[in-house]
């Protein structure tokens, strides 16, 4: 048997039953099934059974169970034939799957016992798993939370995505700052995916449009690659329903290899299509600064859309044999397609093409079906993130789709011309094609709005801004098209599993664990917020999580932090609008003041550990400079013997889902401090609040609703509001802005060179001047700094009152019920998709 310290690998026992047991749910049977897989689904030498081998065998044991439920779900959906939702997303940030699957199946105890029989702790084995990081940030993690909720709510729904061989890069912190290393989740293999050799569709690129004698059109020629499906089972919590995340991989066929050329020694030429196919799913988000990068990203988007829609249509057709041919007009009552941001916009012209060119529908019928099927979620108002594709690139890669897009645009523009005198001068901004001769582009968001039956934002404020600004003129055309669906997070991963201590306390005080699927029940904690017994249990769970976090920080950074200090965390992608720069300037000011104090004065301050983590896009220079600054400040502060008892600054490297699961439960204060109006929603704010962490933040994104729910006295608010921002920018342009002396002092301190020789000039310059994007302090760091510092002072005061703080913490959790992704998904199901639960009996 394996040993407990998990260091030296040991071999498998001699006698292992040659029978698999997919139904195992009791410790002894599970242990046997794990050993069965270690021996009969071998990936390693039978002589070796270390933690890594144990992980794969455990995953395969669990997978047996998932496959069984997943088959039952598939058969049941097929029998009932409900309307189904297909969620199209270029990104999923799944994180680890083992603990989540065991937890959702309620097999925690048996699996832990089974592994203990084999000499391992479940946590130790779970630690071996790599994150599936097929996404960049909030948008991808949202898609993953949605899948968990769809399964849990027994909804007939599927996720579609791409199987990137390398997910989001690994972030390495060196003296230079951030370095990017390719991610390697498939270096060995993923035990969770099931390759579906029966699900393969051809996807074309380039080529031309052929006109048939009857006038119909057909896309021919070009490259044809194959989309092969990999299914990842997604178990719901406490239900049999197990849905699919279907990830496409691109392949060329054997016959696409030119044997003649190969034999001539022209290996690269001979395998051209193979290598072009392989490129498609090689990496998440290839940099799109170059022409080649752009083409590849567009290929990825089309690949996802085309494969998924062919699959959806073939499933729609599957039923024809038993019930006679299905009518196309029924399609929208069987299929809902949700586009996660504009990345899958090509689903629109692709569905039109498949209906018209492959299935013989006329334009009007195809348009009716398409526009009743697709819906679009907008996730940002940042102009640089609103996708615009070059028309010439599109004509080259997707000639038939460009014809269709042009026709959609033509018809839309005609309707406006004919019916809306008042909008004549708006046509050029409302149209889909921007024919500016300098740079003709297709505006993907406009295509989405024109073609979708529903468009939604992701938090109330964001949806209001969409209606009042970005899409205002469309609102006057289709007043009922626009909705809000405030984001949510799954309470399973983000509380039940990442903080079992706090979960158990909640269950004890609510006398039920039903809150796990009915998060509004958390309001039941309010009545106990002052209860000393609850407060002391609450404090001990927090302390345990803080200690665990402190150990982690020491392990990955070498910095030792004090678990009794206030743990203050900001983790998210590094972006100027998210204002990590304001955070670190605040820290710098605090450091300077601490240095100036006498020792006895310092003793009166509240010791703080500030943790900042997040990845910067590889070519986003200012974001990388911020990472470097945080690290440099940390080096100086943490080694300052006068101050480091009262302040520590840690850059948490390689922030990802798994790191979040460690940080969030141990947090006491978290920062959500974006310039108002710029963060569409934010979702980590919800995770922190749910874990009893107080928020310091602006009135932006979902912060607004969190503050409403938890109570304004439990939220540290500061900063300009979204409606003030344009005026403030204007005033700055007019030279009317007067910076706060604290802000000037902090900047000056950096310039004095205390934090090393790196040139921070260009970063600090972004805060100077009065005009221009990226200059003239576009993100209003200077304007908001004084109110931010005042709010921070209130945090320190509040933390001194232990009881008061614990009460606020409890009320924060108690007020987080709204932010369950179960609520969000139930609203999508009812108000956009029109689908109903279909529980497996
Ligand atoms: C992001 C927003 C976040 C939001 C997530 C999920 C994009 C384009 N948008 O504020 O910046 O929480 O989407 O909706 O990644």
Q: What H or E segment, with its residue span, contains residue 787?
A: helix 781-800
pLDDT tens digits, one per residue of 408-459:
999 999 999 999 999 999 999 999 999 999 999 999 999 999 999 999 999 9
Residues 111, 115, 117, 120, Cα dihedral to 10°:
-150
Residues 6+ apart with CB under 8 A from 4: 119, 120, 121
The token pair that represents 258 in the structure block? 């030119």
Assess whether the C-beta atom of 487 lies below 6 angstroms from ligand 1.
yes
* Sign of the alpha-carbon dihedral angle for 150, 152, 154, 158: positive
Residue 636's nearest CA partner among 746, 743, 755 is 755
CA separation for the pair 385, 173 (Å, rounded): 27
SS3 content of the chain, % helix, strand, coil (to 5): 50, 15, 35
110 ligand 1 Cβ < 6 A: no
Query: Could you tell me what percent of the chain has a pLDDT over 90?
Result: 92
Q: What is the pLDDT of residue 5?
A: 44
Q: Please, which pLDDT band fits residue 12 given cuts at 50, 70 and 90?
A: confident
Average pLDDT, stretch 303-332? 88
- pLDDT tens for residues 810-828? 999 999 999 999 999 999 9
* Rounded average pLDDT over 233-261: 97
Say if CB 685 and CB 672 are below 8 A apart. yes
Six-digit token string for 789: 């510092």
- The pLDDT of residue 14: 81
Interval 663-672: pLDDT, tens: 999 999 999 9
- If we measure between CA atoms, which residue out of 679, 729, 697 comes closest to residue 465? 679
CA–CA separation, 248 and 302 (whole Å): 12
In the structure encoding, which two tokens stand for residue 213, read together?
């004698």
- CA–CA distance, 35 with 118 (Å, rounded to integer): 9
3-state secondary structure at position 29: helix
**pLDDT for residue 788 is more than 60:** yes
Measured distance CA(490)–CA(147) in Å, rounded: 9
Pairing relation of β-strands 715-717 and 694-697? parallel
How would residue 661 be classed by pLDDT, with cut points 50, 70 and 90? very high
Dihedral class, residue 119 (left if φ above 0, else alpha if ψ from -120 to 50, else beta): left
Check pocket membership of 682 for ligand 1, CB cut-off 6 A.
yes
- From the candidates 239, 380, 609, 683, which is the catalytic residue? 683
Reading the block at residue 499, the tokens are 């903080």
Active site residue 572: yes
Q: What is the pLDDT of residue 292?
A: 73
Nearest atom of ligand 1 to the alpha carbon of 682 = 12
Q: In whole angstroms, what is the distance from residue 616 CA to residue 367 CA?
A: 41
- In short, whether 683's Cβ falls inside 6 Å of ligand 1 is yes
| pLDDT in the model for residue 8 | 39
Report whether 519 contacts 491 (CB < 8 A): yes
Residue 663 has φ and ψ, to the nearest 5°, of -75, -45
Model pLDDT, residue 775: 79
Q: Span 763-767, mean pLDDT?
A: 95
User: How sure is the predictor about 320, in pLDDT bands with cuts at 50, 70 and 90?
Assistant: low
With the most atoms of ligand 1 within 8 angstroms of its CB, the residue from 339, 344, 345, 458 to mutate is 458
Segment among 4-13, 148-157, 158-167 with least mean pLDDT? 4-13
User: What angle (nearest 5°) sits at the alpha carbon of residue 179, between those of residues 174 and 184?
Assistant: 120
The answer to whether the CB of 458 is under 6 A from ligand 1 is yes
Model pLDDT, residue 3: 42
Residue 735, Cβ density class (10 Å: 0-12 exposed, 13-18 middle, ≥19 buried): exposed
Tokens of 515: 């809150």
- Report the pLDDT value the prediction gives residue 1, as an integer from 0 to 100: 42
Alpha-carbon gap, residue 197 to 206, rounded angstroms: 26
Alpha carbons 491 and 518: distance in angstroms, whole number? 9
Section 640-652 average pLDDT: 98
Average confidence (pLDDT) over 639-667: 98
| pLDDT score for 676 | 98
Confidence band (pLDDT; 50, 70, 90) for 728? very high
Kindly give, in sequence order, each residue whose CB lies less than 8 Å from that of residue 362, ignoring residues fewer than 6 positions away: 356
Burial 469-487 (b: 16+ CB within 10 A, else e): ebbebbbebeeebbbbbbb
pLDDT confidence tier of residue 569, bands split at 50, 70 and 90: very high
Query: For tokens 């070059």, what's the residue?
Result: 390
pLDDT in tens, 278-289: 999 999 986 655
Per-residue pLDDT band at 201 (split at 50, 70, 90): very high
Dist. CA 698 → ligand 1 center (Å): 16
289: which 2 tokens?
A: 């600064």
Three-class secondary structure of residue 808 per DSSP? helix
Strands 84-88 and 335-340: parallel
Continuous segment of H or E residues that includes residue 569: strand 566-571
Calculate mean pLDDT across residues 397-418.
98
Average pLDDT of the residues in 624-643: 98
Does residue 379 register a pLDDT over 80? yes
- Evaluate if residue 293 carries a pLDDT over 90: no
State the Cα–Cα distance between residues 508 and 541, nearest whole angstrom: 13
In DSSP terms, which residues pair with 230 in a beta bridge?
195, 247
Q: Between β-strands 647-652 and 608-613, what pairing exists: parallel, antiparallel or unpaired? A: parallel
Pairing of strands 217-220, 208-211: antiparallel
Interatomic CA distance for residues 369 and 659, integer angstroms = 44
Pocket lining: 829 vs ligand 1, CB cutoff 6 Å: no
Contact 104, 491 (CB under 8 A): no
**Exactly one of 274, 687, 747, 818 is catalytic; which is it?**
687
Backbone angles phi, psi at 692, to 5 degrees: 75, 25
User: Does the annotation mark 578 as catalytic?
Assistant: yes
Cβ of 700 below 6 Å from ligand 1: no
CA dist 223 and 625 (Å) reads 42
> Average pLDDT of 366-374?
98
Overall average pLDDT of the 387-397 stretch:
97
**Mean pLDDT rounded to a whole number for the chain:** 95
Look at residue 648 in the predicted model and tell me its pLDDT: 98
Q: Which is the catalytic residue, given 578, 615, 732, 818?
A: 578
* 209-224 pLDDT, tens digit each: 999 999 999 999 999 9
Find the catalytic residue in 573, 592, 595, 823. Answer: 573
Per-residue model confidence (pLDDT) at position 773? 64
**Residue indicated by tokens 């959790």:** 813
Pairing of strands 454-457, 482-484: parallel
- At 108-121, the pLDDT tens digits run 999 999 999 999 99
Residues 833 and 88: their CA atoms lie apart, in Å, by 13
- Encoded tokens for 687: 């995770």
Task: Report DSSP state, residue 18.
Answer: S
Q: Which atom of ligand 1 is nearest to the CA of 385?
A: 8
Q: Reduce the DSSP state of residue 390 to 3 states and report it.
A: strand
Q: Would you say residue 321 has pLDDT above 70?
A: no
CA count, 13 A, side-chain hemisphere, 87:
29
pLDDT higher than 70, residue 314: yes
Q: What is the mean pLDDT of residues 559-579?
A: 97
Return d(Cα 608, Cα 590) in angstroms, integer. 10
């Amino acid at each position: 048997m394996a040993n407990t310290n998990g260091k030296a690998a040991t071999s498998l026992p001699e006698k292992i039953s040659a029978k698999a047991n997919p139904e195992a749910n009791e410790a002894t049977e599970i242990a046997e099934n794990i050993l069965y897989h270690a021996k009969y689904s071998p990936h390693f030498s039978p002589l070796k059974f270390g933690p890594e081998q144990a992980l794969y065998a455990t995953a395969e044991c669990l997978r047996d169970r998932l496959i069984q439920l997943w088959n039952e779900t598939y058969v049941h959906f097929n029998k009932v034939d409900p309307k189904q939702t297909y969620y199209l997303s270029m990104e999923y940030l799944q994180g680890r799957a083992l603990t989540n699957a065991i937890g959702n199946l309620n097999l925690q105890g048996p699996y832990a016992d089974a592994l203990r029989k084999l000499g391992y702790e479940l946590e130790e084995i779970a630690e071996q798993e790599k994150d599936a990081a097929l996404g960049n940030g909030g948008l991808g993690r949202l898609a993953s939370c949605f899948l968990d909720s769809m399964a849990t709510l027994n909804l007939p729904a599927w996720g579609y995505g791409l199987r990137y061989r390398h997910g989001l890069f690994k972030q390495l912190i060196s003296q230079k700052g951030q370095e990017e290393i390719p991610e390697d989740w498939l270096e060995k293999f993923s035990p969770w995916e099931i390759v579906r050799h029966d699900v393969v569709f051809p996807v074309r690129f380039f080529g031309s449009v052929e006109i048939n004698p009857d006038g119909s059109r057909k896309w021919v020629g070009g490259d044809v690659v194959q989309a092969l499906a990999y299914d990842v089972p997604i178990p719901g919590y406490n239900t049999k329903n197990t849905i699919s995340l279907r990830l496409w991989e691109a392949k060329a066929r054997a016959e696409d290899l030119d044997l003649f050329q190969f034999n001539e020694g022209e290996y690269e030429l001979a395998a051209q299509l193979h290598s072009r196919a392989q490129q498609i799913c090689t990496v998440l988000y290839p940099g799109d600064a170059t022409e080649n990068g752009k083409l590849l990203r567009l290929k990825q988007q089309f690949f996802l859309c085309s494969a998924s829609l062919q699959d959806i249509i073939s499933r729609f057709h599957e039923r024809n044999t038993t019930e006679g041919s299905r009518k196309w007009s029924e399609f929208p009552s069987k299929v809902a397609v949700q586009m996660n941001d504009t990345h899958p916009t090509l689903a629109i012209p692709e569905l039109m093409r498949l209906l018209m060119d492959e299935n013989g529908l006329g334009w009007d019928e195809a348009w009716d079906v398409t526009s009743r099927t697709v819906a679009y979620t907008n996730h940002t108002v940042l102009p640089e993130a609103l996708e615009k594709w070059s028309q010439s690139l599109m004509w080259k890669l997707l000639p038939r789709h460009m014809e269709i897009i042009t026709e959609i645009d033509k018809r839309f523009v005609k309707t406006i011309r004919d019916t809306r005198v008042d909008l004549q001068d708006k046509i050029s901004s409302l149209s889909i094609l921007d024919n500016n001769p300098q740079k003709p582009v297709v505006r993907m968001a406009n295509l989405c709005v024109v073609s979708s039956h529903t468009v939604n934002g992701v938090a109330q404020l964001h949806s209001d801004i969409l209606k009042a600004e970005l899409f205002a003129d469309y609102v006057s055309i289709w007043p009922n098209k626009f909705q809000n669906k405030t984001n949510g997070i799954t309470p399973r991963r983000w509380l039940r599993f990442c903080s079992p201590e706090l979960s158990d306390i909640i269950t004890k005080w609510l006398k039920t664990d039903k809150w796990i699927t009915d998060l509004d029940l958390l309001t039941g904690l309010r009545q106990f917020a002052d209860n000393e017994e609850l407060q002391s249990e609450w404090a001990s769970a927090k302390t345990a999580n803080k200690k665990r976090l402190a150990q982690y920080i020491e392990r990955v950074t070498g910095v030792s932090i004090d678990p009794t200090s206030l743990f203050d965390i900001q983790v998210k992608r590094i972006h100027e609008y998210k204002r990590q720069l304001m955070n670190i300037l605040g820290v710098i000011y605090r450091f300077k003041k601490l240095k100036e104090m006498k020792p006895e004065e310092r003793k009166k301050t509240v010791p703080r550990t500030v943790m900042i983590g997040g990845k910067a896009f590889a070519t986003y220079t200012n974001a990388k400079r911020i990472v470097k600054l945080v690290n440099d400040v940390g080096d100086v502060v943490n080694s300052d013997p006068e101050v480091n008892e009262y302040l520590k600054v840690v850059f948490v490297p390689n922030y990802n889902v798994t790191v979040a699961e460690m940080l969030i439960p141990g947090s006491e204060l978290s920062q959500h401090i974006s310039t108002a109006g710029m963060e569409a929603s934010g979702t980590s704010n919800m995770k922190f609040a749910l874990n009893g962490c107080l928020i310091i933040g602006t009135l932006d994104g979902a912060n607004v609703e969190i503050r409403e729910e938890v109570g304004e006295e439990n939220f540290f608010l500061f900063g300009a509001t979204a409606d003030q921002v344009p005026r403030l920018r204007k005033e700055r342009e007019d030279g009317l802005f007067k910076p706060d002396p604290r802000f000037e002092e902090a900047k000056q301190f950096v310039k004095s060179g205390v934090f090393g020789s790196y040139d921070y000039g260009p970063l600090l310059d972004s805060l100077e001047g009065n005009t221009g994007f990226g200059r003239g302090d576009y993100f209003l760091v200077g304007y908001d700094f004084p109110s931010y510092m005042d709010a921070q002072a209130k945090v320190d005061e509040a933390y001194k009152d232990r009881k008061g703080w614990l009460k606020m913490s409890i009320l924060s959790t108690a007020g987080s019920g709204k932010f369950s992704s179960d609520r969000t998904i139930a609203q999508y199901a009812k108000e956009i998709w029109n689908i109903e639960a279909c529980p497996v009996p």
